[in-house]
Structure 1
Amino acid sequence: MTRTVAATTVAELVQRQWGDRRTGLQSRGTVLTHHDAAAGAAARAALLAELLPRGAEPHLGVLLDNTPEYPLWLGAAALAGAAVAGINPTRRGAELARDLVHTECRVLVTQRTHLPLLEGLALPDVRVLVTDTDAYRALLAPYAGATPGEAVVRPVSPASRLLLYFTSGSTGAPKAALCSQGRLAAAGASLAGQFGVRPDDVHYICMPMFHGNAVIADWAPALAAGAGVALRDRFSASGFLPDVRDFGATYFTYVGRAVQYLLATPERPDDRAHGLRLGFGTEAGAVDAARFEARFGVPLVEGYGSSEGGAALRRTPDTPPGAIGRAAPGDRLAVVDPETGEECAPARFSASGRLLNGERAIGELVNQGRAPFEGYWRNPEAEAERRRGGWYWTGDLFYRDEAGFLYFAGRTDDRLRVDSENLAAAVIENILARWEDVTAVAVYAVPDPVAGDLVMAALSPVEGRAFDPARFEAFLRAQDDLGTKMPPRFVRVMRSLPTTATNKIHRARLRADAFLCPDEVWWRATPAAVYEPLTPDSVAALRAAYTAHSRAHLLGR
């Protein structure tokens, strides 16, 4: 039976672990009870109280893989009234230093494998703790007898800042979104209730914990329900099922690219020999979600909640295929044309499910009611952009049917305008993902030499299978929901698609490369032409066309 939780802070949830001798936290080589986890968090809270200078912001940076130290320090921050800035290990040099300095971290918790990232960085007054060293263990030892609530840097309340997690963007420095103890505790309780999380469940965390996906959608509901947590230091497609079986995992979170990696592993007769009952995440796409359930016997529930907490959707049993859900209670969500501020028309569909009026139905999702967005750290300009006109603008594209169900159509950066018609990359991707010859697809805009955009797709073929343009053209012709503007003019063939540190496809890099890349590229000189290899002569002719229309600068190189 699902544990009922009325806790208003994460600190309360950590304190409730005290005395619980069931297995609570596992990784390869580590097994801790819930009580051990609470004791470990209390010891680290006491150490933190000693290390943070008086008057300094109670912020610590955590630059770790998914080791047990990560959730222990999250618990420590909650108990102490401090906040964790999750540091992305793919950041380098001045950018990484900027993340720490910007969030005013006076303590940095890391591990030996990440020490080279810190070499030569200017980190004034930052105390570095290296968790897998004797020095760290000796530093922590005097606090082994600490109890939860004993060491407090700042008084704990639902409004206490707990997370400063960086949101990715295509331009500018990442923004540190704020999340309070109250919001995280409420999110955990909501998801635990929605998915019927039980104390005997085990949540498998294989997405990086410096990102909101793992903390908000995986760790928090486990904590709220008293369930166990199992960690993978970094996502591994080949290690996924062995981990799930060994840990007895029942729930996991994902992003779409991780699902594609799992589907690309060789099929085995024992693919369904596990205890998983649910996966929850984003951007898997209807085709990949169906393939995943058919192969592994695990339903994937697509969710939506903006990283900053400004809008959320709730899936109900009557949610139609392809839709994410309706607005969560209390949210006043609308799909709005960002240029006019007017609400977009309801979506109309053909008998086969094709969106017929994308140019009028697709817009940006906004929350016109009271959004739980708590702001960005020291970034009033970005806050104002999110809250312009008194609404919360998500930066995500959606369309809405007559019944109020919302369908994800991509990020605002993923919008394409082809021959004066607005298209959404996610809609085209979901169609191309049906092709059995590929394991991954990304669709994005490249500039048209004259005006607007052209559609480009990056495809990752099934291993050992070359791209066959004739087969691809036949596949496109067979898709009755593929609009006339949707077929890619350029196709980039890649062994694997580039990803961000959070296992999302790195579309900004693909857009920046356009068709000027070392990979195999095919193209159609006109929409009616057949696909042919993009040769140096073709590139030269394209460059001339861009130059003739004063658009060469849009290629970026």
Structure 2
Amino acid sequence: MGPMRRTVAELVQERWGDHRPGLWCEDQILSHHEVAAGAAARAALLADLLPRGADPHLGVLLDNTPEFPLWLSAAALAGAAVAGVNPTRRGPELARDILHTDCRVLVTERAHLPLLDGLRLPGVRILVTDSDAYAELLEPYAGAKPDPARATPATRMLLYFTSGSTGAPKAAICSQGRLAAAGQSLVGQFGVRRDDVHYICMPLFHGNAVIADWAPAVAAGAGVALRRRFSASRFLDDVRAYGATYFTYVGRAVQYILATDERPDDRDNPLRVGFGTEAGAVDAARFAERFGVRLVEGYGSSEGGAAIQRSAGTPAGAIGRATPGDDLAVVDAVTRRECPPADFDVDGRLLNGAVAIGELVNRGRTPFEGYWRNEDAYGQRVRDGWYWTGDLFYRDREGFLYFAGRTDDRLRVDSENLAPAMIENILARYEHAAAVAVYGVPDPVAGDQVMATLALRETDTAGRFDPLAFAEFLLSQADLGTKMAPRFVRIAERMPVTATNKVHRVGLRREGFRCADPVWWRPPGESGYRRLTDADVVALTEEYAAHGRSELLDR
């Protein structure tokens, strides 16, 4: 049976009778059989709880506890869909996520009950996993046998929310067939074995942890180890304690791990590979040097509409080439014509960013399965038969693709398009930086100015930031173009991130240089940085007003 014909329910059922350890969390260990049996019991309970004729959807508002993968497996067996609910959402926004996805059952724990206080959730049955009532409710279903026939490859499995930074989060649909195929594909890509242990420290309410970490473990019959919430300081201890061989990361998690104190035995660990996004070439090299672990940077849009695989010979800084069967192109969003290939100088500096940077589209067949009850969002994503990723890229003459940022992150300085991701990779070389974010703030006259936020390593403080040394560092980077050097540098104790460890760029852009953290800047015509004062902010604000651009400061 081919990969596309498998269901997650079948993969779960195959663990029945397998008494090897399969799930670790703190002091709790469950065998693969106990996971499958627990999932079967929950699937039977769910079938009785769901109203007849209702969409079989359940919300899961949990940290990374054993109940989360148990309910993922249960939903697969029951032919139901899981909506992972983000616990950082609050009030009406949280209620909206639950009601929008038509969840008739919400699985949560006592720690999250205060989030539900005062919310109107009509028709939603709430199960509290760490309660006596929950144990009593499950007891009659002990011994239930799995019935994977409830599910087909087309059965909805996940309703996972994409970023809500520019509006209400959209619930992307993922079927059992697509999730099973994704898991099997990663098993082949990374050679996942039955004796491997996948360490899941990224939040399971996010698609990355489920699709890139849990699914390949289920497909291969590998073990899963959970961390309730990501902890950089506990990362290596957990890896050793669980014998973890594989993990996934998103956003700045790798930078936080690298910012922890080094130990002489850092390389004494069982990890074989890490797979994720946005680590950057510099931090990936640092991670490999320090821990002896290869990080593989991949790219896949949250909705599954386009993917890029790294292969042998991929140049430094590139993500890779399109996966077989995809017809990916970098196009100008206005003309819809393919952008010319990128040209580089001897130092690797992009020379023609103004025309080479465009949006990545998939012009071929896409596995994107749409959004739940959101046709407008679907129409924005799929236009004229093309899948538009919303991500900026450029392509070299050999066909390798380079990530340049989100379309919302596009920078245009002195009529030149700049790639924020490229500038971030350069600034990440600064020895005192634990995390870097680059984004645009409006120029008082036209276009944008480059602003960077640096989170310093634990041994440094904002007061020890040396603007002269930083300026000298910039001058020594041969691939930093003259328009790439930040006009403003914000020094933060910790990089503001979302619940999925992605940089909170919307908040950074909105605050700009008018923030509570210390900011250094290069006034026009000056080569060095000096502290931005209240008087400077007043003068800049007046300059924006003089050119009719004041409203851009609050965008």
Output the TM-score relative to the length of structure 2.
0.98
Q: CA deviation at 1:462?
A: 2.3
- Residue correspondences, number: 551
Amino acid across the alignment from 2:156: R
Amino acid across the alignment from 1:296: F
**Alpha-carbon distance in 1 for matches of 2:528, 2:198:** 48
Q: CA deviation at 1:464?
A: 3.8
Q: Which residue of 2 aligns with 1:487?
A: 485
SS in 1 for 2:445: coil
Equivalent residue in structure 2 for 1:497, among 492, 495, 498: 495
Q: 1:72-221 counterparts in 2 under 5 A?
A: 72-149=70-147, 155-221=150-216
Flag the 1:553–1:486 CA change in 2: closer, same or farther, 3 A: same
Q: CA deviation at 1:528?
A: 3.5
Alignment gaps of 5+ in structure 1: none
Can you list the C-alpha shifts for 1:13-45, whole angstroms capped at 9, x where unaligned?
A: 000000111111111021111111100100000
Amino acid across the alignment from 1:190: S
Amino acid across the alignment from 2:153: P
8 A Cα contact 1:245 1:275, kept in partner: yes
**Alpha-carbon distance in 1 for matches of 2:410, 2:58:** 37
SS in 1 for 2:509: helix
Alignment gaps of 5+ in structure 2: none
Within the alignment, does 1:380 sit opposite 2:375 as a pair? yes
SS in 1 for 2:299: coil
Q: Which residue of 1 aligns with 2:522?
A: 524
Q: CA deviation at 1:322?
A: 1.4
**Alpha-carbon distance in 1 for matches of 2:62, 2:206:** 12
**Alpha-carbon distance in 2 for matches of 1:355, 1:169:** 31
SS in 2 for 1:402: coil
Equivalent residue in structure 1 for 2:61, among 40, 63, 66: 63
Q: CA deviation at 1:315?
A: 1.5
Q: Which residue of 1 aligns with 2:236?
A: 241
Within the alignment, does 1:399 sit opposite 2:403 as a pair? no
Q: Which residue of 1 aligns with 2:427?
A: 432
Q: Which residue of 2 aligns with 1:50?
A: 48
**Alpha-carbon distance in 1 for matches of 2:77, 2:164:** 31
Can you list the C-alpha shifts for 1:255-280, whole angstroms capped at 9, x where unaligned?
A: 23000000000000111111000000
**Alpha-carbon distance in 2 for matches of 1:5, 1:365:** 27
Q: Which residue of 1 aligns with 2:282?
A: 287
Q: Which residue of 2 aligns with 1:345?
A: 340
Amino acid across the alignment from 1:180: S
Q: 1:347-362 counterparts in 2 under 5 A?
A: 347-362=342-357
Flag the 1:406–1:547 CA change in 2: closer, same or farther, 3 A: same
**Alpha-carbon distance in 2 for matches of 1:217, 1:462:** 29
Within the alignment, does 1:37 sit opposite 2:35 as a pair? yes
**Alpha-carbon distance in 2 for matches of 1:98, 1:145:** 36
Within the alignment, does 1:371 sit opposite 2:366 as a pair? yes
Q: CA deviation at 1:351?
A: 1.8
8 A Cα contact 2:3 2:181, kept in partner: no
Q: Which residue of 1 aligns with 2:473?
A: 475
**Alpha-carbon distance in 1 for matches of 2:458, 2:172:** 39
Q: Which residue of 1 aligns with 2:306?
A: 311
**Alpha-carbon distance in 2 for matches of 1:505, 1:440:** 10
Flag the 1:427–1:85 CA change in 2: closer, same or farther, 3 A: same
8 A Cα contact 2:60 2:68, kept in partner: yes
**Alpha-carbon distance in 2 for matches of 1:82, 1:527:** 62
Q: Over the residues paired in the alignment, what is the CA RMSD in angstroms?
A: 1.2
8 A Cα contact 1:42 1:147, kept in partner: yes
Amino acid across the alignment from 2:234: G
Can you list the C-alpha shifts for 1:519-540, whole angstroms capped at 9, x where unaligned?
A: 1011111154421111111111
Q: CA deviation at 1:141?
A: 0.7
Q: CA deviation at 1:5?
A: 6.8
Amino acid across the alignment from 1:304: Y
SS in 1 for 2:528: coil
Output the TM-score relative to the length of structure 1.
0.97
8 A Cα contact 1:344 1:360, kept in partner: yes
Equivalent residue in structure 1 for 2:268, among 258, 266, 273: 273
**Alpha-carbon distance in 1 for matches of 2:11, 2:429:** 43
Q: CA deviation at 1:463?
A: 2.6
The percent identity for this pair of structures is 72
Equivalent residue in structure 2 for 1:536, among 529, 534, 537: 534
**Alpha-carbon distance in 1 for matches of 2:547, 2:45:** 63
Flag the 1:440–1:63 CA change in 2: closer, same or farther, 3 A: same
8 A Cα contact 2:105 2:124, kept in partner: yes
Amino acid across the alignment from 1:442: A
